[in-house]
Amino acid sequence: MTERRTDRTEERPALRDELLAAIPPLRAFAVSLTADSDRADDLVQETLVKAWSNLGSFTPGTNMRAWLFTILRNTFYSNHRKRRREVQDVEGEHAARLATHPAQNGHMDLADFREALGKLPPDQREALILIGASGFSYEEAAEICGCAVGTVKSRVNRARNRLAELMSISSAEAFGPDDATQAIVGDVVSTRSGT
């Protein structure tokens, strides 16, 4: 084992020169895979780091370029698979929607919501709960309430606006505490602002 390490140490200048000579064709191959020069440079760099740290697995006398191209190709496809599983969210919009409300405020928000819901007229409260919390369509809710679809839509809209007013809600996402309550509140901001 010690002899092998000594041999590798002595071979390193030659291996280093071979690695350096392979950079231009590696970069060209990386650009053809990524179609982006910055990502190609990163890929070549990652390939060279992996190759240098795994020189012990390279068999002297074999094709260094083929070994490097194999490392580059495998690294590219590994990174590609990882990126496919990631959510592309450069602006951070998706991450912002994943924010959770503090657990200690949940019971207060729910109590406030129930109080505000109790202040709605019974017909509006009924329509809102059928549409928002129970998940019925407007047509189904109209059938349950025994009125026209337009009447249910009007009641739901009025109820959402009144709840938003009573609770000083600026957005459904900021309200919480759960998906059903957010569905009931609906898109209050766009309705209130007229957008």
pLDDT tens, residue by residue, 183-193: 555 545 444 44
pLDDT tens-digit profile of 66-114? 899 999 999 998 988 887 776 666 676 766 666 665 555 555 567 787 8
186 in Cβ contact with 173 (< 8 Å): no
Q: Which two tokens stand for residue 88?
A: 């592309």
Domains parsed from the chain with CATH numbers: 12-86+112-172 (1.20.140.160)
Half-sphere CA count of 179, side-chain side, radius 13 A: 4
Give the model's pLDDT for residue 50: 94
pLDDT tens-digit profile of 169-185? 766 555 555 555 555 55
pLDDT band at 1 (very low <50, low <70, confident <90, very high): very low
Between helices 23-34 and 37-53, what is the axis angle to 10°? 130
41 in Cβ contact with 27 (< 8 Å): yes
pLDDT band at 3 (very low <50, low <70, confident <90, very high): very low
**pLDDT score of 13 more than 60:** yes
Torsional sign, CA 154, 157, 159, 162: negative
pLDDT band at 40 (very low <50, low <70, confident <90, very high): very high
